[in-house]
Chains A and B, each alone.
Chain A
Amino acid sequence: MGSRGSTLSKIPNVDKLMQETGFSQAHIIRLHDRFRALDNDEKGYLCPQDFEAIKELAMNPIGDRIIGAFFAQGPQQETVDFNSFVKVLAHFRPTDKNRPKESTSPDPINSRTNKLKFAFQLYDQDKDGKISRDELLQVLRAMLEMQVTEEQLESITDRTIQESDTDRDNAISFEEFRKSLDKVNIEHKMSIRFLR
């Protein structure tokens, strides 16, 4: 317990962090270990290069966007400290079913809406609140790589936008995005099991 206590004490605002993210002590400690492992020269924060060093992430077609999401939390952030690192990961904590529902308390980070928002911002790179045709095209191009021709990509994109675009502005707003995924079990599909 001693080492645990000392680890926790090193992190500023642990209690607040735990309350906000819903992570347990064990989670936090584990994530802190990971954070320090990523943080190569013990700067106390992460910069994009640290993320890029993760081998698997380089293979991931939308890896760079996900790295970007870590830096998009604050205004023009160039670095990620431990608190925001944990907060981003908290999006993927499974939703607990028997969490007391207090109408006054703000939406927890791992709520359905927030999970969707996280996914949405990966598409919406220019942050205008809409996934434009070009943005969707870029994501698709990244995900499908060389497997389809440009025309095929475009037709898929068009079709996708057509399908969810209810106000006909040729872009997908967050509401439309949410609506198009209404039938999908987001709580399930956007959660991972964090080890204790």
Chain B
Amino acid sequence: MLRALLLTLSVVAIAHAELCKPDAQNAFKVRISIKTALGDNAYAWDANEEYLFKAMVAFAMRRYSSKSTTQISNVLLCNVTDRVSFWFVVTDSSKNVTTVPGSEVEAAIRMYRNRINSAFLLNDKTLQFLKITSTLSPPVEPSTPVWLIVFGVVLCLIVAGIVFLIVSGIQKHKKKNKESTERDNLEEKVEVTLENGIPCEALDLKAGHINGVFAADDERFTSL
């Protein structure tokens, strides 16, 4: 009984070794960079993490092909290195000792890539499936380009400034014009009669006006 069990186990192991080896058919290499992604919060890669990985791949396969025949034991991991890189392959329980075609595995993983990444707190760059390309997400574009909004604000400020300056300039001009016409009107009232170029009010205020032509020759006249 025990011998039979050991024999089946060894057969299975050899079969597995045949199926999962580097560059085997339908096998994929995975490369994980935990320290790059998480820094100080990095967890160690051990057998439990491997179990989670097998579970996630099995989940993806079950979801993708919608048949619940894929078990965790169908996912085989091998050649785990210190880098944390390994090869994996998905076997088909219904057909003995064969692997699920690579295209199916690829499609399944692509569809649920996000779920697999989140399980390990990694992203497309730090959990790499070497032959599976990831679809790039388009950059987020807001409905109105931001620059148009900023441009609108700047333009409004400038137009407001120009209008303000022009209007204040016109108002200043009008005020100056009004002032100068007022001054002109005032002067017209002031300019009454002129005698010899001297307004009569000046004559009235002072007691006469000294005529400069005669004032110079003081000595010729006797003082009063």
Do A and B come together as binding partners? no
